[in-house]
Structure 1
Amino acid sequence: MIEMLSVDFMQRALIAALLVGTVAPMVGIFLVQRRLSLIGDGMGHVALAGVAVGLVTGAAPVLTALVAAVLAAVVIELLRAKGRTNGDVALAVIFYGGIAAGVVIISKSPDGTPANLMKYLFGSILTTQRGDLYVFAGLALVIAVTTWALRPRLFAVANDEEYARAVGLPVLPLNIVLAVLTATTVVVAMRVVGLLLISALMIVPNAASQLIARSFSGGLRWAIALGLVSSVGGVALSYPLNTPSGGTIVLLAVALFVVTAVVTGIAARAGSRRHAVAETHAHEHGVECGHQAVTHGDHVDYLHDGHLHAAHEGHYDEHGVHHDHEAPDTASSPDGSEPASAASRSTTGPTP
């Protein structure tokens, strides 16, 4: 580890991974909400054409890719908003047109081979220069600040466009902003994980976070944490393993998703076994049921044939035999009806 941190190109690689691992999930969470998980791939294809233009003309590939991706993002949103074609068709056109244009344009470069595109297609983080790092850091800062400032509005539009429009939110401008943020994120990440793999880093950490979190803000925090672990951890692993950093990052993200899915699945099944459902009754327990009421924590159980039963979501949970719990507040009345002190309690309180 110390040897890795002492190498200049690994220092730059880890900083670039830190930037991408932070901003990619921040934008991706809104794409997951809108069910546009593959739009990152579409933007990547268009960015490839921009890279090819930069290589042929001698301009900075990062800037030409950014211009191409942003223009495509705006066009897609305008086409979708006008209703002249649906989002899937527009995205498909961008997919194929972008990658085809990239291959054709790069053939006109002095080298005359598409091989120059490989480091952009699959990432080449170890070739990141200090100047690239400055550009990536500036773009990442813009993405993070914009996303954080607009997150309530972006969430509202992603969750329900019609409602957002009804309450007066500028839906089309917000959708265009999200599309531009997506395009910019793709360009920032193209040297880290590659244009063909960036969508995974935007989507997979968010897919894993949805299995853990119980709110949007919690999901965003978990997604960023998982994105950082995937990106920085993938770069760190690629050094001793001598593997491509982009593929290693994505495989680590997928592995984290699988582990999260397995652990949360086991936890859910274990939680479902924490309470046993009592046998079916012909009646409902309550004030007039004739069974003794027993205080149990923050709710009331009813003593039925030596067992304690509590109402829970349309059925009765088995809470053990009577001697395992605290004694009832009062004895039943001589006629078998529930005493007043217990009758005054709720019969549908939460179970522990």
Structure 2
Amino acid sequence: MEILETAFMQRALIAALLVGITAPAIGIYLVQRRQALMGDGIGHVAMTGVGLGFLLSANPIWMATIVSVAGAVTMELIRAYGRTRGDIALAMLFYGGMAGGVLLINISDSGSTANLSSFLFGSLSTVSDADLTAIALLAAFVVLVSVGLRRQLFAVSQDEEFARVTGLPVRALNLLIAVTAAVTVSVAMRVVGLLLVSALMVVPVAAAQQLSRSFKATFTLAVGIGVAVTLAGTTTSYYQDVPPGATIVLMAIAVFVTLTALAAPLARLRARATETNAAQCPADMADMPGSRQPGDDVKV
């Protein structure tokens, strides 16, 4: 295939695959905790890390990871301990992170509008070998946490008080979710962009919830949708010369709309099948050996 003949597209597709796995894998816990927009806030903070990377001539992905992890921990602490002014503190953190990143990128020697745009909205041609190595290592961490600790993270996301009663380290697990979300933002920013990464954490999960009810089924389907839309969006971006991040997010929304439209008819079919099975059960039991038919004599 033509798309696989160029080295930059090979790197872009591998990065897209990793993003498709990691974003929904941690996003399902954010959705469960009703923190769907947390990834968007971390993306704003990560801009400062990108700017520091350019200013210090360091890898922007690693710098963004460090800064976004610090920002995510701060956000979680504000959420846990903040009172009436907590929302204002978060707003200052988000806006300051974005403004600081834009400023640092522009005053750095390598800063330019093109560099800024590639991090905000994603770019296929900017994924280097060093970036791919960083993305792979960070993605391995996200998968290890989101899958290896899925029972503990689900318990904390579902009911913190119950998790605390059962002896789970709730505060540590909450911080781990925040840190993993921050790492995911760094993984995804080259492909989807910092402004759109939150959508890839949330939309595949929301789409999967239209068809599945169990956590395991939702997790598996959400990751499958994430992989499908990132690979399809990256491929479309290559052939149609459109921004990859926007293309991937619009495809994910299209999947959500489609599954939402199919959810109601499928629910009616399942309900009808359940009623049919319930109606057939007494007849089936009556035909079983040893079953008593109406009118049989009852021996006391």
TM-score (normalised: structure 2): 0.89
CA distance in 2, matches of 1:74, 1:275: 47
More helix by share: 2
Cα distance 1:73–1:254, how it changes in 2: closer, same or farther (>3 A)? same
Q: Which has the larger radius of gyration?
A: 1
> Does the residue aligned with 1:297 lie in a helix, a strand or coil?
helix
- Indicate the residue corresponding to 2:95 in structure 1: 96
Alignment of 1:4-153 (within 5 A): 4-84=3-83, 88-110=87-109, 113-153=112-152
Q: How far 1:116 sits from its partner (Å)?
A: 2.8
Cα distance 1:126–1:297, how it changes in 2: closer, same or farther (>3 A)? same
- Contact 2:17/2:227 (CA < 8 Å) preserved in 1? yes
- Indicate the residue corresponding to 1:199 in structure 2: 198
- Contact 1:27/1:181 (CA < 8 Å) preserved in 2? yes
Q: How far 1:69 sits from its partner (Å)?
A: 0.1
CA distance in 2, matches of 1:275, 1:158: 31
- Indicate the residue corresponding to 1:237 in structure 2: 236
The amino acid of 1:190's aligned partner reads M
- Indicate the residue corresponding to 2:289 in structure 1: none
The amino acid of 1:179's aligned partner reads A
> Does the residue aligned with 1:107 lie in a helix, a strand or coil?
helix
Alignment of 1:148-227 (within 5 A): 148-227=147-226
Number of residue pairs the alignment of both structures matches: 290
- Indicate the residue corresponding to 1:280 in structure 2: none
- Contact 2:62/2:134 (CA < 8 Å) preserved in 1? no
- Provide the identity percentage: 48
The amino acid of 2:79's aligned partner reads R
Q: How far 1:16 sits from its partner (Å)?
A: 0.4
The amino acid of 1:127's aligned partner reads T
What whole-Å deviation, never above 9, does each CA across 1:168-188 have from its counterpart, x for those lacking one?
111111010000000000001
Cα distance 1:199–1:120, how it changes in 2: closer, same or farther (>3 A)? same
Deviates more, 1:257-266 or 1:103-112: 103-112
Q: How far 1:90 sits from its partner (Å)?
A: 4.3
The higher-RCO structure (CA 8 Å, 6+ apart) is 2
CA distance in 1, matches of 2:99, 2:26: 27
Cα distance 1:270–1:63, how it changes in 2: closer, same or farther (>3 A)? same
Alignment of 1:295-314 (within 5 A): 297-299=280-282
What whole-Å deviation, never above 9, does each CA across 1:308-348 have from its counterpart, x for those lacking one?
xxxxxxxxxxxxxxxxxxxxx86xxxxxxx73589xxxxxx
What whole-Å deviation, never above 9, does each CA across 1:217-254 have from its counterpart, x for those lacking one?
11100011000001111111212222111111111111
More strand by share: 1
Structure 1 runs not aligned, ≥5 long: 277-294, 302-328, 331-337, 343-352
The amino acid of 1:182's aligned partner reads A
